[in-house]
Amino acid sequence: MDTTPHESGQVNPLLISNIITALLVIGLTGLSIWLYSQYTYYKDDTGKIVAAEVNKAKTAQQKEDEQKALEREKLPTRTFQGPADLGSVSFQYPKTWSVHIARNVNALEAYLQPDVVPPLSTTQPYATRVLVEDRPYEVVVKTYDGLVKKGDLRSNPATIEGFSGIRLDGKFSKDREGSVVLFKVRDKTLTIASDSISFKNDFDNTILKSLKFNP
């Protein structure tokens, strides 16, 4: 009979090894599940981001194409020609615009707007307004001094075919924000205005670029 006493409290190395292995397997399994969930999340998230960017690019391209189409529709331009006794004011304007002209013995008024010119009103903003009025240039310029001092308007020199005038840009009233260009025409004053910054490109690159008058 074996009378060798057994050691009490001895740790079995195999058991420890099995426990460590089991813990590693559980840990690696959990890590794998977590990594896969993160991969799936970011994969889905990336897909959404890519799809959103693609849609954004398509929308931007569509808007650009529509804008180009609108610009093409404006060509060829038409010619505005004012009466000789009021400075022979002339310029080109988009053919998609309409013109309403009113004049009396000493003045010329013209209003231009895409499609149809709305009813005349002092609060209605127009794409372009033309006014040759029987008031001295210096007097008309002075009427804007208050807005310039207030900071609502920026004043800069303007030159058309060698003739000097003044250009005002900014907010003229709560309804009108755009540009006004003033020139002296004999004993009268020529005002060319755009009441909305939406028409700045047409105003600067078509109308003012082609403006001619006889001072």
Take residue 9 and report the two structure tokens written for it.
């409290």
Give the pLDDT of residue 53: 73
| Closest C-alpha to 141, from 130, 153, 127 | 153
The CA distance from 147 to 158, in Å, is 18
Is there a contact between 128 and 207 (Cβ–Cβ < 8 Å)? yes
The CA distance from 215 to 212, in Å, is 10
Is there a contact between 129 and 193 (Cβ–Cβ < 8 Å)? yes
148: number of Cβ within 10 Å: 15
Give the pLDDT of residue 206: 97
Classify domain 78-210 at the CATH class level.
alpha beta
The CA distance from 141 to 189, in Å, is 9
Residue 15 DSSP class: H
Give the pLDDT of residue 47: 65
The residue ranges of the chain whose pLDDT is under 70 are 1-12, 44-47, 50-51, 65, 67
Determine how β-strand 153-160 pairs with β-strand 163-171.
Answer: antiparallel
Helices (H), the chain: 13-73, 137-142, 145-150, 200-202, 208-210
Is there a contact between 93 and 80 (Cβ–Cβ < 8 Å)? yes
Give the pLDDT of residue 64: 76
Give the pLDDT of residue 9: 57
Is there a contact between 107 and 132 (Cβ–Cβ < 8 Å)? yes
116 SS3 class: coil
Give the pLDDT of residue 75: 83
| Closest C-alpha to 190, from 102, 108, 113 | 108
